[in-house]
Every structure is written in structure tokens, then in C-alpha cells.
């Protein structure tokens, strides 16, 4: 028994001594790690001290490095501003935009149209603003891969132009604000509206003479009708790569009707002709006004199916107005819808006038053709009215012929203003509205004809 006790005590001693040895070894290891860590920290601290001393030796105690860093930051800021990126082309476009704003605000030349166009032009030419990039719509197509990665506000709004949404909506609004009564009361005004398409023919032939292809020439030609929505609609289908300059030309000249037309009207008429007073038009019945948009939609669409989107939207808006059964919708189309689309359309059309895409020979040619076409369209209506007076017992004032271009109601107002310069009691507005609305139909028909032949 005594031997067994000794053996058990020996075994217990062995088991107790093993943890003690392990603990001692752990303590020794930990102590070694701590010593090594202190040594490493001392080395790092020494290295940092040496680096600081080296910096002091290199730069001295004068903090010029901080000043240099501030100079670099300020230089980078200056380089990132638009002032550092401005060029003569951008500067010229900004000046043009400011001139258009002056005409819209001070001279009140169609401010509803000219002001958003001019401001869109101003914003798109701010260097670094990236509100509009022509490369996304290069070649007349929407490059969706670039669109998804870098599209801004104007890119999305411009889709309404590119996809022909705005022209049709504008025509609904124009129809809802148009009274075809003066045209129905004086059917001869249809001829004046047709004569104003002389500008379309002139522009088409001029563009062909300058080397433009027939589809491109047709798109340029429609500028002569002074109808912005129709110009956008036709160009989107025939020559989408020219959409920017053609839209700018069409809408700019529409807005500048009070500047372009009066000199031509005075040149082609005598004071006696400008003083001709016309009899009051007959009253057109409501039944006539309701039947006309339905009949015109069916007849013109069957004759020229390509013109159906424009003619259909125009007559839809007019039927809403004349029927009297959807007054709330009619007022919405005339006001809220028309105003919103005009803002979007004006801004995006102006935004296309960037220095890179606008200041080139092709665009300059289009602008020059456009202004002459507009002049020929205005002259065509005046000259036809003078010719018709040779055979009419009741003479018409030739000034209303200039309203045959489809800038509604701007051209009709110009006829009224120029007429009252000679005779302040002469009221030509309602007489001029006949050729004016006839010109809207005429330009849509001309676009449908070109699209049918060349599309």
C-alpha cells in the first residue's frame, strides 16, 4: 500500500509540473515578442525622425512646399473653369445668343419662341457644362450606348425632337388655336397660301445647286415655308444629320418674321395698295367649321398618306376647339400642353447650336438659303395677290399675301402692323389669317409630297 501511495504521488507531481513548464515557456515567448516589438517601434521611430530631418535639410525650415501645393491647387482650379476652355467659336456663339435674347426681351420679337431658343444656345455653349453633346446624335442616329453613360437633361429633352414627338404635339396645339373661318369665308386665300410655297421651291433648287443630295435639299427647302414643326418632321425622316442647323434656321426665321417681312412687303407694294380696305368677311357657320377638319383630314391623308401625322394632329386640335364638347381638353392643349412643348422644343433646338456643329460651311449655306427662301415665300404671296387684283372687282390688300407663310399668327400680325402704317383704321388681321392658316396646310402638304417622292 505504501509503494502504491508513492507511485500515485509521483504521477501527480509529473502532471502538475507540465502546465507550470508550459506557462513559463509562454511567458518567456511573450516577453521575447514584446522586446522585439519595442525594437521594431524604435527602428520605425528612428526612420521617421531621419526622414523629417532629411526633409528639413532639403526644404529648410521655410514652408515653401505648402505654398507650392496651394499654387498647384489654384492653377488646377483655373484650368477647370470655362474661362480657360473658351475659344473664339464659343465666344461668337455666346454673342449670337445674347443678341437673340436682346431681340426677344427688348424688341419683343416673338419672345415665346426666341427666348428659350437663345437661352438653350447660351447654355449649350458654356465650356464644360456638357448639357448637349452632338456626338450622341451623330449621323442622324441616337447612339444609345453613349446615351446611357453620359446623358444629361438636354439629351432626354432632345429625344422629343429626334423621335418626331414635339412636331405632332405642336400641330395639335396650333390646330386648337386656329380659326379656319377666315379661310372658309374667303377661299381665294388658299391660293395665297399655296403661292407662299414659292420659298420652298427656291430653297430646294438652291440646295441642289450647292451640291446637296435631293433628300437633304428637300429638308432644307421646307425652311421656306416658315414652319418649324414641319421642318423637324421632314428632316428627321429624310436628312436626320442636318436636323440641328435646319431646326435652328426654321425657328430663328419664324421668330424674326417682324424683321424679315416688312422691308419685302414695302418694296413690292405701293402706298395706295397698302391702303386698300377689304370688306368684312361673311360669318362661317359652326357646321362648316366642324365638317372642314374631318373632310380635310380624310381627303389630304388619302391624297398624301405621308402627311397624315401632321395634318391629322392639326385637324384633331381644330376639331376639339370647334366641336365645343371637349372644352377642358381644348383649353389644356391650347395652354398647358402648348406652353410645355414650346419650352422643351425651344431649349433643345437652341442647344443644337454648338460652336463645333454650327460654325461650318454647310450650316452657313443652310442659313443663307433659309433667309432667302423665307423672303421668296413672303414675296410669292404678295405678288400673287397683286396679280389677282388685275381680275378682281373687289380688290384685296396685297399685304395679306405675305401671311401665306405658315408662321401662325406672327405673319398675320405683321400684315396688320404694316397696313396700319399707311392707314391706322385699316384692320387686316382677320383677312390675313386666311392665307396664314392656308400656309400651315400648304407646308404640311409640301412636306408630305416630298416625303412621298423622296422618302
Overall domain count for the chain: 1
pLDDT at 24: 40
List, for residues 155-167, the tens digit of each pLDDT value.
Answer: 888 889 888 899 9
Instruction: Name the residue range of residue 395's domain.
Output: 162-454
End-to-end alpha-carbon separation of the chain, Å?
121
Asked whether residue 140 is assigned to any structural domain, the reply reads no
Asked whether residue 10 is assigned to any structural domain, the reply reads no
Please, what's the largest Cα pairwise distance for the chain?
A: 157
Q: pLDDT-derived band of residue 5, with 50, 70 and 90 as boundaries?
A: very low
Which three-class secondary structure state does DSSP give residue 324? coil
Asked whether residue 97 is assigned to any structural domain, the reply reads no
Asked whether residue 37 is assigned to any structural domain, the reply reads no
pLDDT at 42: 46
Q: pLDDT-derived band of residue 275, with 50, 70 and 90 as boundaries?
A: very high
Q: pLDDT-derived band of residue 171, with 50, 70 and 90 as boundaries?
A: very high
- Asked whether residue 38 carries a pLDDT value surpassing 80, the answer given is no
List, for residues 411-433, the tens digit of each pLDDT value.
Answer: 999 999 999 999 998 999 999 99
Q: Where are the alpha helices (DSSP H) in 60-197?
A: 64-80, 82-85, 88-105, 111-124, 144-150, 153-162, 165-177, 181-185, 189-195
Q: What span, in angstroms and rounded, lies between the C-alpha atoms of 246 and 18? A: 97
Contact predicate 179/189, CB 8 Å: no
Asked whether residue 25 is assigned to any structural domain, the reply reads no
List, for residues 312-345, the tens digit of each pLDDT value.
Answer: 999 999 999 999 999 999 999 999 999 999 999 9
pLDDT at 17: 43
Neighbours of 435 (CB within 10 A): 35
Who has greater pLDDT, 80 or 173? 173
> What Cα–Cα distance (Å) separates residue 399 from each residue in 69, 124, 184, 410?
71, 39, 19, 13
Looking at every residue in the chain, the average pLDDT score rounds to 83
- Asked whether residue 176 carries a pLDDT value surpassing 50, the answer given is yes
Asked whether residue 349 is assigned to any structural domain, the reply reads yes
Percent of the chain with pLDDT over 90: 55
Asked whether residue 260 is assigned to any structural domain, the reply reads yes
List, for residues 39-70, the tens digit of each pLDDT value.
Answer: 444 444 444 444 444 444 444 445 566 667 77
Mean of pLDDT values over 206-231: 92
Q: Residue 37: is it exposed, middle or buried by C-beta count within 10 angstroms (0-12/13-18/19+)?
A: exposed
Peptide linkage before 409 cis (omega within 30 of 0): yes
Asked whether residue 135 is assigned to any structural domain, the reply reads no
- Asked whether residue 72 carries a pLDDT value surpassing 80, the answer given is no
Q: What span, in angstroms and rounded, lies between the C-alpha atoms of 177 and 187? A: 20
| pTM for the model | 0.78
Amino acid at each position: 500500500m505504501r509503494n502504491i501511495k508513492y507511485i500515485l504521488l509521483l504521477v501527480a507531481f509529473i502532471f502538475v509540473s507540465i502546465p507550470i513548464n508550459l506557462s513559463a515557456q509562454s511567458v518567456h515567448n511573450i516577453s521575447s515578442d514584446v522586446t522585439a516589438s519595442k525594437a521594431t517601434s524604435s527602428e520605425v521611430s528612428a526612420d521617421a525622425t531621419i526622414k523629417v530631418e532629411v526633409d528639413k535639410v532639403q526644404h529648410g525650415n521655410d514652408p515653401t512646399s505648402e505654398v507650392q501645393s496651394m499654387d498647384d491647387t489654384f492653377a488646377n482650379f483655373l484650368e477647370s473653369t470655362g474661362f480657360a476652355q473658351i475659344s473664339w467659336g464659343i465666344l461668337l456663339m455666346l454673342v449670337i445668343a445674347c443678341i437673340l435674347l436682346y431681340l426677344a426681351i427688348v424688341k419683343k420679337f416673338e419672345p415665346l419662341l426666341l427666348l428659350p431658343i437663345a437661352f438653350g444656345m447660351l447654355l449649350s455653349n458654356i465650356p464644360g457644362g456638357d448639357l448637349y453633346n452632338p456626338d450622341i446624335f451623330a449621323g442622324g442616329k441616337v447612339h444609345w450606348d453613349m446615351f446611357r453613360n453620359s446623358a444629361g437633361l438636354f439629351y432626354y429633352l432632345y429625344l422629343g425632337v429626334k423621335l418626331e414627338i414635339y412636331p405632332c404635339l405642336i400641330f395639335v396645339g396650333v390646330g386648337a388655336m386656329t380659326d379656319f373661318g377666315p379661310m372658309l369665308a374667303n377661299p381665294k386665300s388658299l391660293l395665297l397660301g399655296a403661292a407662299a410655297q414659292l420659298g420652298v421651291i427656291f430653297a430646294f433648287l438652291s440646295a441642289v445647286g450647292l451640291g446637296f443630295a435631293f433628300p437633304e435639299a428637300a429638308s432644307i427647302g421646307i425652311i421656306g415655308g416658315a414652319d418649324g414643326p414641319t421642318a423637324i418632321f421632314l428632316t428627321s425622316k429624310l436628312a436626320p444629320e442636318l436636323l440641328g442647323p435646319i431646326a435652328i434656321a426654321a425657328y430663328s426665321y419664324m421668330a424674326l418674321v417682324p424683321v424679315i417681312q416688312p422691308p419685302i412687303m414695302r418694296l413690292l407694294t405701293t402706298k395706295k395698295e397698302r391702303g386698300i380696305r377689304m370688306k368684312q368677311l361673311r360669318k362661317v357657320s359652326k357646321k362648316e367649321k366642324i365638317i372642314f377638319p374631318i373632310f380635310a383630314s380624310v381627303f389630304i391623308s388619302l391624297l398624301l398618306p405621308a402627311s397624315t401625322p401632321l395634318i391629322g394632329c392639326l385637324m384633331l386640335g381644330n376639331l376639339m376647339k370647334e366641336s365645343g364638347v371637349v372644352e377642358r381638353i381644348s383649353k389644356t392643349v391650347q395652354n398647358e400642353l402648348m406652353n410645355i412643348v414650346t419650352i422643351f422644343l425651344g431649349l433643345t433646338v437652341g442647344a443644337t447650336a454648338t460652336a463645333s456643329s454650327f460654325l461650318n460651311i454647310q450650316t452657313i449655306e443652310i442659313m443663307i438659303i433659309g433667309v432667302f427662301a423665307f423672303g421668296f415665300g413672303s414675296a410669292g404671296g404678295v405678288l400673287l395677290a397683286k396679280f389677282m387684283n388685275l381680275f378682281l372687282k373687289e380688290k384685296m390688300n396685297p399685304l395679306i399675301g405675305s401671311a401665306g407663310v405658315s408662321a401662325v399668327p406672327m405673319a398675320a400680325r405683321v400684315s396688320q402692323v404694316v397696313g396700319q402704317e399707311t392707314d391706322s383704321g385699316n384692320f387686316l388681321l382677320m383677312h390675313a389669317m386666311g392665307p396664314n392658316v392656308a400656309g400651315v396646310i400648304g407646308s404640311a402638304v409640301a412636306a408630305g409630297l416630298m416625303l412621298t417622292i423622296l422618302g
